[in-house]
Structure 1
């Protein structure tokens, strides 16, 4: 499937650029516990495995078979969601700049960023990645892929709750006000 190839290319490019950008972050002064990080990472990896992986331990049930036959329309919708989600996450990563980290941290001279995509949602990188994961699930149309998106959403919810505690600790009332004005993941909804 032509579109499936481009999904893989997009995810590979995203990962390579994301890893390169990790070298530009400020020095960390506080980090989430290792157990918290491992739990969140395990959920995320499991979710992506459900979307992409050949899940052999699931019986040949309806979870592995496509909900209905994929066609060009669903393929292009999925590709558009992946591309839009990745672009949104890149935009958020560019705006947050050197304050970014792959784990929940406080950086030296940490700034509370409220511009760009952070005006729409408090965690736009997670929003973008969830859209990209959902788009990937749409490409393959397997129920286990949609379960994977839900598992990834749970991992992000777990991570953002830890992150929000750090932000309240660092920015106090300013962050509380921001939290009241801007939704966590989906504008005007959640």
Structure 2
């Protein structure tokens, strides 16, 4: 219970701290919340964080971890911090802004939808979902539902929500930052699949043969 409470506090406090980045980028609380799209973006961010608190996702190294893949977390951390501040700052100063207020709302919708897609697999996997590339105690494969079509629905949600976030600020630089997240994400996927193949052998190989990584018919 104590560790769950600590994780909840860490998640909510971290989300509030992250929201401070675009607020700073936009020059303060009042300017940031002057547009309804940014208000809803902030509300969606906090709502997703509150829902995440009730999941069993963790950062446990479990029974076996690929520690060599931890560099990906550092890469996501740096790019995530930049994506938190730079697109909002670009929006404020009008640097390389993609045209149209409609794009803001498309971005908000993508962020919220991608965030839901990111979280649903966390609830499906429960304690098997870790922020590290690791095999958890009692680890079993899930091959039905979302996982019956794509093997990494949470990562697809991550990409969609990341793109939605920067589009909510109409930031061309933000789109580039999102694209820069793809190489470490692919590295993460390959590390996870290698780990699962070593753990489950032919069972995982057969599952991998009939599914797509993230986008059916594409990847």
Fold agreement, TM-score > 0.5: yes
The answer on 1:80 being equivalent to 2:109 is yes
Q: How many residues align?
A: 180
Is the contact between residue 110 and residue 164 of structure 2 (CA under 8 Å) also seen in structure 1? yes
Relative contact order, higher structure (CA 8 A, sep 6+): 1
**Could you say which residue in structure 1 is the equivalent of 2:13?**
none
Q: Structure 1 residues 185 and 23 mapped into 2: Cα distance closer, same or farther (>3 Å)? A: closer
* Deviation of 1:24 (Å): 6.9
SS in 1 for 2:214: coil
Is the contact between residue 59 and residue 132 of structure 2 (CA under 8 Å) also seen in structure 1? no
Q: Structure 1 residues 92 and 9 mapped into 2: Cα distance closer, same or farther (>3 Å)? A: same
- Structure 1: distance between partners of 2:167 and 2:58: 33
Moved more, 141-150 or 2-11: 2-11
- Structure 2: distance between partners of 1:7 and 1:138: 11
TM-score (norm 2): 0.73
Is the contact between residue 168 and residue 176 of structure 1 (CA under 8 Å) also seen in structure 2? yes
Q: Structure 1 residues 67 and 26 mapped into 2: Cα distance closer, same or farther (>3 Å)? A: closer
SS in 2 for 1:117: helix
**Could you say which residue in structure 1 is the equivalent of 2:40?**
6
- Structure 1: distance between partners of 2:59 and 2:188: 19
* Deviation of 1:22 (Å): 4.4
Q: Structure 1 residues 12 and 156 mapped into 2: Cα distance closer, same or farther (>3 Å)? A: farther
Is the contact between residue 88 and residue 117 of structure 1 (CA under 8 Å) also seen in structure 2? no
TM-score (norm 1): 0.83
- Structure 2: distance between partners of 1:186 and 1:130: 11
* Deviation of 1:36 (Å): 2.2
- Structure 1: distance between partners of 2:150 and 2:140: 16
SS in 1 for 2:63: strand
Unpaired runs of at least 5, structure 1: none
* Deviation of 1:18 (Å): 3.1
**Which of 78, 81, 84 matches 1:46?**
78
**Which of 184, 199, 202 matches 1:170?**
199
- Structure 2: distance between partners of 1:146 and 1:54: 11
The answer on 1:69 being equivalent to 2:99 is yes
Structure 1 vs Structure 2 CA RMSD: 2.4
**Could you say which residue in structure 1 is the equivalent of 2:141?**
112
- Structure 2: distance between partners of 1:182 and 1:156: 18
Q: Structure 1 residues 19 and 45 mapped into 2: Cα distance closer, same or farther (>3 Å)? A: farther
